Amino acid sequence: MTPTPHASPAAVSRTRAWLVVLLVALSGYGNYYCYDAIGPVADLLQQQRGFSDAQIGLLNAIYSLPNVVLVLVGGLLVDRFGAAFMTLATGLVCLAGALFTAFSPDFTGMALGRLLFGIGAETMGIASLAAVADYFHGPGRNVALAMGVTLAIGRIGSYSADMSPTWFATAYAQGWQPPLVIAAVMAVTSCVAALVYWGIDRGPRRAGLLPTSRTGEPFVWRDLLHFGRAYWYLLVLCVLWYAVILAFRSTFSIKYFQHVHGLDLAEAGEMNSYVFLAAVFATPAFGWLCDRRGRYAPFLMFGALLLPVALAVLALTPWSLWIATALIGISYSLVPAVMWPLASRLVAPQRLGTAIGLMWVVQNAGIGGANVVAGWLNDRAGASATNPAGYDAMMAFFGAASVGGLLCAVLLWWTAGRRQHELRG
């Protein structure tokens, strides 16, 4: 690892560092709220604007599509122009996207809005992690706790969007548009937080206390391949773990709980939401634990192990759904709490944006691919409430991918994550 000469976040006061976390997390709150704002208005969009299921699906799919390429560019820009500038710039792109989505007269305009929002939002996610790494890298700086808090406040944004029909019932009673205007207001909040962060970051950055960006250095494509072996294990784990957890939890789990385990829609949705709610509290707690013990890879390995175990419990045993839900909840909290701090330890600070960008390019492709493959397997086997065995192929596919992820976590631990590696760094 080659830290910037003179960069020493330890010289930045803890209060300022935690203020940065708070501001970055607030911008993440707005970002995740807007991301999840389509689900609650889906029914209203169908009733009032006549959108089909495919159109509703496209409003979310179009978020990921450009990021199969563009989030890498975003990561490079974060390294080049710095996390603070890029959080603000992407916040403004997200706001433009949210406004387009809320005020467009037709579907095409809304889809363009979601496209713009996706382009800004994923790069903002990278800028947020890079911002926290800037202020917390180095021994005893609690990087995992700080990243855990940032992710947790983002998860509250998603939870708030899910709860918005209850919290903003009057807006929902007026139709599809007011809830999307509220989402745009959340995007304004993101921009204000990003602006304040940009303002307070200028002092320590100019004083050389933070890693400097790489402005002026020419971009060399070959640089992309020059990460160590442990980074590549982390990348494959990231792709497989997020592909399984998001394709299962965000797309198919509710339907699976209904058809295979006999829950009604409300019960299935509630069961699924506990995973999410648990992550709000458990992600920072696990981050704190990792920082305190100074160990990351063993926790990552344990989190990666719980996913195939949970899937096996769901698919192969008659045990209570609570057991699998708790196991998925722990995995969903533990893996992100460790993965991003570990990434910040495995690569040089000035290349963190590029490193995460590359991970998220493949991750976006993996999430999209896993959704398509799982849907195809279910259709092919005729999975339904009357044919619950039709879900077996999907569960086997998710199980195999999650075992692949576990294998990468073991290799990562073996290569760079044992006691003598981690306590040294």
Note whether 342 and 296 are within 8 A (CB).
Answer: yes
360 is a contact residue toward ligand LKAUPR5Q (CB under 6 A): yes
Q: Is 128 in the site for ligand LKAUPR5Q (CB under 6 A)?
A: no
Q: Does 28 bind ligand LKAUPR5Q (CB under 6 A)?
A: no
Quote the CA–CA distance of 151 and 156 in Å, as a whole number.
Answer: 9
Q: DSSP assignment of 232-279, as one string? A: HHHHHHHHHHHHHHHIIIIIIHHHHHHHHH---HHHHHHHHHHHHHHH
Among residue numbers 271 through 300, which ones bind ligand LKAUPR5Q (CB under 6 A)? none
| 363 is a site residue for ligand LKAUPR5Q (CB under 6 A) | yes
Name residue, tokens 């020059």: 226
**Does 151 participate in binding ligand LKAUPR5Q (rule CB under 6 A)?**
yes
Residue 157 is a binding residue for ligand LKAUPR5Q (CB under 6 A): no
* DSSP type of residue 223: G
Residues in the chain: 425
Q: Using the rule CB under 6 A, is 125 a contact of ligand LKAUPR5Q?
A: yes
Q: Give the separation between CA 337 and CA 282, rounded to whole angstroms.
A: 9
As measured in angstroms, the least distance from the Cβ of 215 to ligand LKAUPR5Q is 25
Please tell me whether residue 172 binds ligand LKAUPR5Q under the rule CB under 6 A. no
Between CA 3 and CA 249 the distance in angstroms is 38
User: How many of the chain's residues bind ligand LKAUPR5Q (CB under 6 A)?
Assistant: 7
Residue 313, token pair as written in the block: 């419990």
**CB-based contact 126:357 (threshold 8 Å):** yes
Q: Measured from the CB of residue 387, what is the shortest distance to ligand LKAUPR5Q in angstroms?
A: 31
Q: Taking the complex as a whole, how short is the minimal distance between the CB of residue 257 and ligand LKAUPR5Q, in angstroms? A: 20
Shortest Å, Cβ 162 to ligand LKAUPR5Q: 13
Q: Which residues, 215 to 244, sit near ligand LKAUPR5Q by CB under 6 A? A: 242
8 A C-beta contact, residue 254 and residue 272:
yes
66 or 175, CB closer to ligand LKAUPR5Q?
66
* Minimum gap (Å) between residue 316 Cβ and ligand LKAUPR5Q: 27
Distance CA 423, CA 411 (A): 18
Which residue type is seen at 257? Answer: F
Whose Cβ is closer to ligand LKAUPR5Q: residue 79's or residue 122's? 122
Q: Is 387 helix (H, G, I), strand (E, B) or coil?
A: strand
Minimum gap (Å) between residue 364 Cβ and ligand LKAUPR5Q: 7
Angle at 291 between CA 196 and CA 282, to 5 degrees: 75
Beta bridge partners of 384: 387
What one-letter code names the amino acid at 75? Answer: G
**Cβ of residue 336: shortest distance to ligand LKAUPR5Q, in angstroms?**
4
Nearest approach in angstroms of CB 203 to ligand LKAUPR5Q is 29
- Pick from 7, 261, 49, 23: nearest CA to 136: 7
368 lies in the site for ligand LKAUPR5Q, by CB under 6 A: no
Is residue 366 a contact point for ligand LKAUPR5Q (CB under 6 A)? no
Q: Which residue is closest to ligand LKAUPR5Q by CB?
A: 336
Judged by the rule CB under 6 A, the positions of this chain that interact with ligand LKAUPR5Q are 122, 125, 151, 242, 336, 360, 363
